[in-house]
Structure 1
Amino acid sequence: MTGPSLEDLLATLRVVSIPMRVTFRGVTEREVALLEGPAGWGEFGPFLEYAPPEAGRWLAAAVEAAWSGWPDPLRLSVPVNATVPAVAPEAVPGVLQRFPGTTTAKVKVAERGQSTEDDVCRVAAVRDAMGPHARVRVDANGAWDVATATDVLGRLATHDIEYAEQPCASVEELRDLRLALARKGIDIPVAADESIRKAEDPMRVRDLDAADLIVIKAAPLGGVRRALEIVEECGLPAVVSSALDTSVGMAAGVALAAALPRLDHACGLGTVALLAGDVTTDSLIPVDGELPVHRVVADPDLLDRHAAAPDRVRWWRDRLTAAWEHA
């Protein structure tokens, strides 16, 4: 099957804007573009600040979903984690209620304008709410330097942290942090996220021994097949995660998790629960802590209900056109 032309993509483009239940990474309204092709629906939703070269990988993933489809699954469902934004401790139980049956939580830390004490209290609230047997992981989005990461993770270690996701920005810092944690006897594995999905050479994480595991996302890596290639080449355990996707975009992450030969960790694929709406009546919301593996079909009425304003549609058409050169 030949791929689509730019005109094919623009002809099927639908842009939606969906409110968030809680602010996440500063986002209060999630805008994405949807494409329909012979294999089904795909989602093009790079965050607004991403430049065309990076957005091109997201477009490649959307084209793969809508025009090529995905590899056959190796499992029928995938376990997911709850995602706790940088909320106050008293808001934690309400967030966790949106993820029924989950036994793992990812907690956002290092939020701009907040303190280390805010992070510690939030993680403690998650541990208290979920109990001693749950898995609790933290995500700093590369905000700490090595010294700060060592200090904060040392304070968080009492809450039995499964791993710290991208605690520092650079691969070299991740390597140095692993050494610093080992010297201090702080047993918290380090996971690389941005150092994989935003890197020109994601294999530097492997080559510098900078992480214990990697976080992979279908859209930022250019699609399910490309993500599977990176996992195989890197040789480290992988955790599948996602951006703030609608169920159409989330289906790609589920397809990736379903196709992994090895899946040892709950996946960060439950964030549809953070949206105050969706584009399908068959939302990918966790049930008993798991998501089913299947395609998602956008509902015309919901596309109309959440349709973005005309000026935003024009903006996304221009953005898709710019990204097309890099897809």
Structure 2
Amino acid sequence: MLPDLDELLASLRVVAIPMRVRFRGVTTREVALVEGPRGWGEFGPFPEYEPAEAARWLGAAVEAAWVGWPVAVRPSVPVNATVPAVGPERVAEVLARFPGCTTAKVKVAERGQTLDDDVARVAEVRAVMGPRARVRVDANGAWTVEEAVAALARLAPYDLEYSEQPCATVEELRDLRVALARNGIDVPVAADESIRRAEDPLRVRDLEAADIVVVKVAPLGGVAAALSVVEACGLPAVVSSALDTSVGIAAGVALAAALPDLDHACGLGTVALLDGDVTASSLVPVGGRLAVGRVAADADLLDRWAAPSDRVAWWRERVGACHARLEHLGREQP
């Protein structure tokens, strides 16, 4: 159900919200928001994504605003804390923004940092959260197989729940799982980018490249599409976000709430990393959980965080390119 481009652009608002801490190189998060008959949707592919990939993000925004989401099977979902590549002295400060969370995802393999930096950060997270907490690491595909084996050998003593996208390719993830088993390193492997950016996410399943899949609503084209991917993969799933405002996070919560099984905390507490939001009722964890429900953007906050006019023009052009891509795909379907 793709609305006309003019209808999309009529409600389009673009915001630029500063980050509290640098996250994957991002210091200001820009996203576009659209409003339809079902409410608000968020379109926020990162700037480097071409229309072929970014169009799926627009599809997710259209689903949220014009179509709606599948029925939830749980009223709330557990979420994890997210620790960027900060020094150990800032770990407690970051974790304090995620009250009640008993799982933490720790960024590792940051450009310009060393494995010693990663070990110090993970060690501090474990020390602050205690022995019963779950700690996972995310390398965003930065390691080779050999580097991942060496890194996880040093990080494994901190009792890792899993390592998220330690290597870039599906083939490398497969080879890493074999190498970890041979070396007696008991760290499960989760696929993230290999699910959300690969043309065929089911290759992860076919090559036995992961123990867990990490799914994001927007890169997969919406809640319904993501549910189909999880079902086809047949692996435990973790729902994560892409530095969304509360509007985008609500879609992630809708996905997590609709999964038949949910055994892991989800990476949906990232609004705490933003220095602002588009709603006064931000989706931040309460007791380590997020409630299922819609989020409405606030007009005053949309004005407060409004992006400069040149960036609005850039996003409007981008929406147009992605809309054309979705129209083309729609014509190709039988």
| Length-normalised TM-score, structure 2 | 0.97
Q: Determine the C-alpha separation between the residues in 2 that align with 1:221 and 1:154.
A: 32
Which residue does the alignment assign to 2:144?
Answer: 145
Q: Post-superposition shift, 1:3? A: 3.1
Which residue does the alignment assign to 1:47?
Answer: 46
Say whether 1:265 aligns with 2:233.
no
What is the CA deviation profile of residues 215-268 of structure 1, one whole-angstrom value per residue up to 9, with x for unaligned ones?
Answer: 000000000000000000110110000100000010000000000000000000
Which residue does the alignment assign to 2:202?
Answer: 203
Unaligned 5+ segments in structure 2 are 327-334
Q: Determine the C-alpha separation between the residues in 2 that align with 1:44 and 1:154.
A: 39
What is the CA deviation profile of residues 31-56 of structure 1, one whole-angstrom value per residue up to 9, with x for unaligned ones?
Answer: 00000000000000001111111110
What is the CA deviation profile of residues 19-77 of structure 1, one whole-angstrom value per residue up to 9, with x for unaligned ones?
Answer: 11000011111100000000000000001111111110000000000000101110000
The aligned amino acid for 2:203 is: R
Q: Secondary structure at the match of 1:100?
A: coil
Q: Determine the C-alpha separation between the residues in 2 that align with 1:3 and 1:201.
A: 24
Which residue does the alignment assign to 2:127?
Answer: 128
Aligned ranges 1:71-220 → 2 under 5 Å = 71-220=70-219
The aligned amino acid for 1:172 is: E
The aligned amino acid for 1:281 is: A
Cα root mean square deviation, aligned: 0.6
Which residue does the alignment assign to 1:222?
Answer: 221
In the alignment, is the contact (CA less than 8 A) between 1:81 and 1:105 conserved in 2?
Answer: yes
Percentage of matched positions with identical amino acids? 74
Say whether 1:64 aligns with 2:63.
yes
Q: Post-superposition shift, 1:324? A: 1.3
| Length-normalised TM-score, structure 1 | 0.99
Q: Post-superposition shift, 1:188? A: 0.3
Q: Determine the C-alpha separation between the residues in 2 that align with 1:202 and 1:15.
A: 30
Q: Determine the C-alpha separation between the residues in 2 that align with 1:28 and 1:145.
A: 27
Which residue does the alignment assign to 1:326?
Answer: 325
The aligned amino acid for 1:308 is: A
What is the CA deviation profile of residues 164-219 of structure 1, one whole-angstrom value per residue up to 9, with x for unaligned ones?
Answer: 00000011100000000000110000000000100111111000010001000000
Unaligned 5+ segments in structure 1 are none
Which residue does the alignment assign to 2:284?
Answer: 285
Q: Secondary structure at the match of 1:124?
A: helix
Say whether 1:15 aligns with 2:18.
no
Q: Post-superposition shift, 1:322? A: 1.1
Q: Post-superposition shift, 1:128? A: 0.4
Say whether 1:30 aligns with 2:43.
no
Q: Determine the C-alpha separation between the residues in 1 that align with 2:325 and 2:165.
A: 26
Q: Secondary structure at the match of 1:106?
A: strand
The aligned amino acid for 1:226 is: A
The aligned amino acid for 2:298 is: D
Q: Post-superposition shift, 1:323? A: 1.2
Q: Determine the C-alpha separation between the residues in 1 that align with 2:138 and 2:52.
A: 25
**How many positions carry a matched residue from both structures?**
326
Which residue does the alignment assign to 1:234?
Answer: 233
- The list of structure 1 runs, each at least 4 consecutive aligned residues, that deviate by more than 3 angstroms after superposition, is none
